[in-house]
Structure formats: C-alpha cells, structure tokens
Structure 1
Amino acid sequence: MDNNQNTLAGAEVFKLAPGDINHLFRRTGVKGNSLSAFTYNSEQAATSSPSELFKVLSESPRLGQIAGRLLEPDLKIEFNRGGAGAADDKYYVLLSTADKTVLTQMVNSQGDILLLLFDDWEPFLEWWINVYATPGVGDYRKVFPNVLETEILVCALHCIDIYRRSYMESMLDYRSGLSLSLTTQDFVQLLKRSLASKDKRWLLPTMFEVTPGLKNSSIALKPEHIKQAEELGFVTSNESTLTLGERSKIMGTEFITSWIGAIGWQATALINGEERSLSRVFLAPTAFANHMFSFEIGSGGVSRFRHQASTKLELTQSLDQWMESLRKVVGNGTVTINTDKTPQFKFCGQCGSKIKPGKKFCTSCGSAL
C-alpha cells in the first residue's frame, strides 16, 4: 500500500527504510516488546547510516509517539485482506495506553515501512471504513440469530460456495438449471477439498486464510451441525441427500454478484506481561451488507461465532464499541471481548423474533423455547 509522506485522511504519514528501525531504537531508547515486529540489531546500527526518510521522522515532534507504538505497543491488531478479486494485503494497527493515538504499520511496493499516525480511533476508523466497507442496505434479514458453534458457519459458507460453483458450472455448460443436490458424503469431501485448497476465490477457505489464528481453532464437523444449518435454511436433507435451501440461494446470489473481498483481523495485547489473543473477526462485505463474524472460545475450547449484517454506519458503531472494550481490557487485565454490546437477546427458532431473557414462550408466535 503506497502513500505520500505528508497527510492522508486525517493521518500524518511517514516512511522508513527497513534499516532505519535500528536507528529508531538507538535514537529513542525504546527497548521493544514481544508485540512489536521489530528487534534491535546493535551491529547493524553501528555499521549503517539512517536513510533520508529517517530524517523526516527524527525531526518530527511525533517521534516518541511513533517509536512507542511501533516498538512497544500495548495492543496490536493484525489485519489481512484477500478473497474474491481483492489483492492480498497485511498490516498492523498499534496502540498504547499512554494516549489515544493509533499507528498503522504497512509495507509499500518498494519495501519501505509506511506509518500512518491518527490522533484517535475515530479518524482511523473513518479512513478504514471508507476503504473496506460498503454502504449496505438496512433491515437485512438476520441469518444466524444466536451465538453458534463455528462448525455451523463452516457448513453455511460451504453451502454458499456450492451454490456459486453450481451457478458457474451451469454457465460453462450452457445449462439453464442448477445442480443443487448432492450426497452427504460428497458434501463433506468437497468441504475438505475446499479447505485444503486455500483458494481465496471461495468464501469458506478465504475465512480461514485471512482471519489470523482461526486455523488453530478446534473444528470438528458433526451431523448435528449440518442439522442446524438445515434449521437455518441453508440446506434440506432426505436420507443421504442434501439439497441447498433458500438461504443458500439468496446468499449465494449475493456473493456471486457483489462480494468485493474480505478482511480478517485479530487483536492481541500484553496482559500482565503475557501476550494474549483478545478478539478475532472476519468481515465479508457485499453490496447488501457488511457481514461481520466475531469468534470466541467457549467452555471446553469450543469455538463459537456471532454474526452481524451491518450497514456502513452500523459497522462503524460496532467497531467503536469493540475498540472501547479492547481499551478497557488492556487497562484492567480482563479478557472478555464482545463486538455486540447491545443487550443479549435470544431469538425464536420458528419466527426469528427477539425473545427477552427469562421468557419460556415466543411472544410473537407462541412457540415453546
């Protein structure tokens, strides 16, 4: 990612040559920590000279702030982008408890280190949202009403990919109809092939490839996960045959026509001197919604996810709340992060209506909960 060394979208922009990092250590006296991508090499520092790029930063009043965040951050967010036709990209966002400034660390096409310093999370988020999010549409039907096991999401995204695949094959074969049925065995085998391919043209492998640390989650697909995907409308089953459901068709068409790539990120902090992963998120924007999946590890190491289909404004509000939670975590040493800070309602499995805590029957359709 390339930018001029001046200002950009409310940020001050600096460049450094890779060898300038050693001189940044020497000039500022910062020792570094495990969250930083850089370590001090005294031999190289003693035998090399800083580049012309370093001079601009060394004369800036922002030198101390940038060195503190780049070399000794308290909170690191690793971002990866890819999927669909989007170019692969990786960068870091670094924060400190000393103040609210936000430093973005990138590498440009010439191999220089590109640094964007924002005064606060708000201007950073405005820039980030304008680059990666779509406007979306309001009142997107809720797809996953509860916090669910990640295996259910794996099944759902696989169904979307199968629909996309069938659609493309029908075009290549000049067929008007789609092949929407397959055996359960073929469904599972195709899922294994999808994940092994690491092919980011498809939604499911993209989620695992761009979301840092997600591959390390304990994922074990069971028949009940396919059953729950069926209850959500992604598939219907008949003995050993699975047929893609209405939800797969709707979302499959959505991703065929308007998926612009995906972004995965993970927030890591030093908690009482120990490096801890706090939050992991996958975002897949389309013209209809910014699909955000946040992951958490529950009891027994079970991976669960929460889904939000947001407009650009709603996504901005959610990520504002997310950062507020992260800053509190870094401040007090706890490790509970939720991207959705609204009251935790449950939803009726029959009609999808919100259920207030403590209710045993749906107040809309009367179904037992």
Structure 2
Amino acid sequence: MNTENPGSVELFKLAPADIDHLYRRSGLTGNPLSSYSYHAEQAATSSPSELFKPLAESANFASIAKKLLAPDLKMEFKRGGAGSAEETYLALLSLGDNDVLAHFIGQDGNILLLFFDNEEAFLQWWSGIYASKAASTYQPVFPDVMSAEVLVCALHCIDIYRRAYMESMLDYRGGLDLAISTQNFVQLLKRALSSQDKRWLLPTMFEITPGLKEINIALKPEHIKKVQELGFLTGNENPLTLGERARLLGTEIITGWLGSIGCQATALINGQEKSLSRIFLTPTAFANHLFSFEIGAGGDTRFRHQASTMPELIQSMMKWIEALQKVIGGTSPVKPAKGETPAMKFCGQCGAELKLGKKFCTKCGIPL
C-alpha cells in the first residue's frame, strides 16, 4: 500500500450459505454478472454463520452487497506462467462510487472479500503483489496499435530463443542455433498453442487471459514481415533467423519473468454479459509489459503494448477502469473529501433503508 494515500481496506470471510442471507438482508435481486443466485427457502430455514456478523455490522455493507450480488462491472483476473502460483479472482465495481471489491475463494471453500474504498488503493495493493518495480526507461517494442497476429509471432520468437538457449545447455554447446525455416516456424507455433503449457510465454497468454481463445487468429505473410521490421526476425523466408529483439526479450524472459496476469472486463449490455476489454500483463525485473486487446472496426483483434514502471502501470490501469466505466454509461464518481465518511444508506443489522437524521434504525431499533 502507498503510505501517502493508503485508503481504507476491510477484510471479510463468508461461508457459501451466507450468500442467501446477504441477498435477504440487502433486498437485492442480483444480476447475471454475479457469481451467485438466491435460494429463498434455504435462507428462510437457516441462520447465517458467525462469519456473517462482521459484514452485517460494517458501514460498507450496502456497497459490498451491491458489488457482490449486482455489480455493474466485473473484472476476472487469472494468474499463471513461469511456475508462479495459479489463481483466479474477481474485482467488482459499481458505477455509483469508487469502491472496489476483490473476491476470492479460499482453499477451505469459504468466500474471501477485500473491500477497498477507492480504485487507487486497490491498484496499489494489486500491483504490489503482481507487478515489478521495473527500470525507469525501456526502449519501445511495439510502437503502434497492431494486429494480434503480430504479437503471436513476436512471443513465438521469444519462446524459440528460450528453446534454443535451453537446448544448447543440454547439448553442452556454447553457440545457439537461431535459424528456422518458415514451415518449422508455423508448425512449432501450432504445437505451442495446442500444448497449453504455461512454462512458455505464448501459450500462457492464451491460457490465462479470459476469453482470448475465442478470437480468430489467421497468420499471413504480412505478419511475419511485420515482426521482421520490428527486429524479431531477419533473413529471407528460408531460413529465418531470430533477430536482436528476440534475443534481448528472450534473455529478459529467461532471467526475469515473474509470471503473468490475464484479465477480462465484462458488463451487462442489453441484459447479456459482454466482454469490453482484455489485458495481459507480463512483469519482468526490467519492465511491466502490459498488452491491451480491442476489437477493430472489421472484427479483427488488435493490441497495444506498454512497458512501464509500477507507478506508470497503476496510472494506466486507472485510465483503463475509467474508460470501461464510460463505455457502460458511467462517470467518475465524486470522491468524498479527506476525512469525510460517506453516509450509511442501509442498516448493517437488518438491511432496512435508513432515514436521514435518525439515530436508530426504524425497523430493528439498533443504534446507528
């Protein structure tokens, strides 16, 4: 956490059956973005667990219930690659405030909730776990918005360099064989994509970025030509030779790859859950490589790359969230003034709506 602007963080734990009581107490009916549905009979014939009490008494009960049961924006994160721990979790947002609810499922099956009272606090926490401090300067790799096929070929070049490096070690060879025919380049690429092996960078991107497997990849000679212009390949079609860019990034991945994070943001469009945007983050000791994917006017998938430090990454993610909110008709909510606490709108004990100026809940009588 950034100690200069830490924000407020609360941690809650719920048993799976507590979700029905959360529905009942909040009065929410839920929406298709939520991972949960309401079982009225079970809620009526059972009692919440002891884990439910801290959430029920929280001043942020209404905001947490809204994000968990009826979010306006859902971001699904997946982590994996390079031997890092694999995990899946959600970040849930509403258009009416700046709060962020991070949702995890614990090893015991219970629900873990981290509630942040602003987006920057969430991103400070998130980047502190999943990003690297990185170097202050990094030479641009992909200067423009490009077709996703170009990225596929470029990451494949990086993996081929890593493969050649490892093979030379196993064979006790000092030099690397960096030549490959176009036919072998394409065949090896197909094998890599079908392998689902997250020890390699290219398969990792597709395996951990939610929804990315759905995009259509159609490799053409123009894509290989583009990676040649970028310095990943040199030479004629037969054979191709890995270029300086593939060697530099290949060495960076070999020595400093910290695993990767994929994310898909979805929202309800005409009542249906639709993908708004996808990102793929590959942090190394040298840079946080952030790739964002968008659908072009012709239906093709295009990407943008940014190599950034941790503060730059946080700013980019802040802008990304703001852009997502605008897409679904929201605006950046006004943040409370420093020291100001947002007024409670619902009772933390019974879930009834509160009336302004009252010192007690008009339904259950609990002091407010």
Q: Give yes or no for TM over 0.5.
A: yes
Asked if the contact 1:218/1:301 (under 8 Å) is kept, the reply is no
SS of equivalent to 2:77: strand
Distance in 2, Cα, partners of 1:302 & 1:141: 27
1:125 to 1:239, Cα distance in 2 relative to 1, 3 A: closer
Asked if the contact 2:76/2:90 (under 8 Å) is kept, the reply is yes
Distance in 2, Cα, partners of 1:108 & 1:332: 32
Q: 2:160 matched to which residue of 1?
A: 162
Q: 2:113 matched to which residue of 1?
A: 115
Q: Which runs of 5+ in 1 are unaligned?
A: 1-7, 334-369
* Structure 2 counterpart of 1:198, one-letter code: Q
The Cα offsets for residues 213-270 of structure 1, whole Å up to 9 and x where unpaired, read as 1111111111111111111100113242111110000000000000000001011112
SS of equivalent to 2:187: helix
Correspondence list, 1:145-156, <5 A: 145-156=143-154
Q: 1:83 matched to which residue of 2?
A: 81
* Structure 2 counterpart of 1:185, one-letter code: Q
Correspondence list, 1:141-290, <5 A: 141-290=139-288
Distance in 2, Cα, partners of 1:51 & 1:18: 9
- TM-superposed CA distance for 1:182, in Å, is 1.3
Q: 2:357 matched to which residue of 1?
A: none
Instruction: Verify: 1:128 aligned to 2:150, yes or no.
Output: no
The Cα offsets for residues 123-167 of structure 1, whole Å up to 9 and x where unpaired, read as 111111111111111221111111000000000000000101111
* Structure 2 counterpart of 1:219, one-letter code: I
- TM-superposed CA distance for 1:33, in Å, is 0.2
Q: 1:301 matched to which residue of 2?
A: 299
The structure number with the bigger radius of gyration is: 2
Query: Where has structure 1 moved over 6 Å in runs of 4 or more?
Result: none
Q: Which moved more, 1:86-95 or 1:18-27?
A: 18-27
Correspondence list, 1:336-355, <5 A: none
* Structure 2 counterpart of 1:30, one-letter code: L
- TM-superposed CA distance for 1:86, in Å, is 0.7
The TM-score with structure 1 as length reference comes to: 0.85
Distance in 2, Cα, partners of 1:321 & 1:139: 21
Q: What is the root-mean-square deviation in Å for CA atoms of aligned residues? A: 1.6
The Cα offsets for residues 36-58 of structure 1, whole Å up to 9 and x where unpaired, read as 01111223323433211112212
Distance in 2, Cα, partners of 1:99 & 1:312: 25
Distance in 1, Cα, partners of 2:102 & 2:288: 22
- TM-superposed CA distance for 1:170, in Å, is 1.0
Distance in 2, Cα, partners of 1:245 & 1:266: 32
- TM-superposed CA distance for 1:109, in Å, is 1.8
The TM-score with structure 2 as length reference comes to: 0.86
Q: 1:292 matched to which residue of 2?
A: 290
Correspondence list, 1:54-93, <5 A: 54-93=52-91
Asked if the contact 2:74/2:92 (under 8 Å) is kept, the reply is yes
The Cα offsets for residues 253-307 of structure 1, whole Å up to 9 and x where unpaired, read as 0000000000010111124544332111000000110000000111221110000
Asked if the contact 2:67/2:92 (under 8 Å) is kept, the reply is yes
SS of equivalent to 1:299: coil
Q: Which moved more, 1:253-262 or 1:231-240?
A: 231-240
Distance in 2, Cα, partners of 1:152 & 1:304: 9
- Identity, in percent, stands at 64
1:95 to 1:283, Cα distance in 2 relative to 1, 3 A: same
Distance in 2, Cα, partners of 1:253 & 1:293: 19
- TM-superposed CA distance for 1:70, in Å, is 0.1
Distance in 1, Cα, partners of 2:304 & 2:159: 20
- TM-superposed CA distance for 1:9, in Å, is 8.0
Asked if the contact 2:73/2:93 (under 8 Å) is kept, the reply is yes
Instruction: Verify: 1:34 aligned to 2:32, yes or no.
Output: yes
**Matched positions, count:** 326
Distance in 1, Cα, partners of 2:24 & 2:165: 58
Distance in 2, Cα, partners of 1:170 & 1:238: 24
Q: 1:50 matched to which residue of 2?
A: 48
- TM-superposed CA distance for 1:29, in Å, is 1.3
Distance in 1, Cα, partners of 2:80 & 2:179: 29
Q: Which moved more, 1:291-300 or 1:46-55?
A: 46-55
The Cα offsets for residues 313-354 of structure 1, whole Å up to 9 and x where unpaired, read as 111111111122122222259xxxxxxxxxxxxxxxxxxxxx
Q: Greater relative contact order (Cα 8 A, min sep 6): structure 1 or 2?
A: 2
SS of equivalent to 2:318: helix
- TM-superposed CA distance for 1:106, in Å, is 0.6
The Cα offsets for residues 151-204 of structure 1, whole Å up to 9 and x where unpaired, read as 000000000001011111111111111111111111111111111011111000
Asked if the contact 1:296/1:305 (under 8 Å) is kept, the reply is yes
Q: 1:366 matched to which residue of 2?
A: none
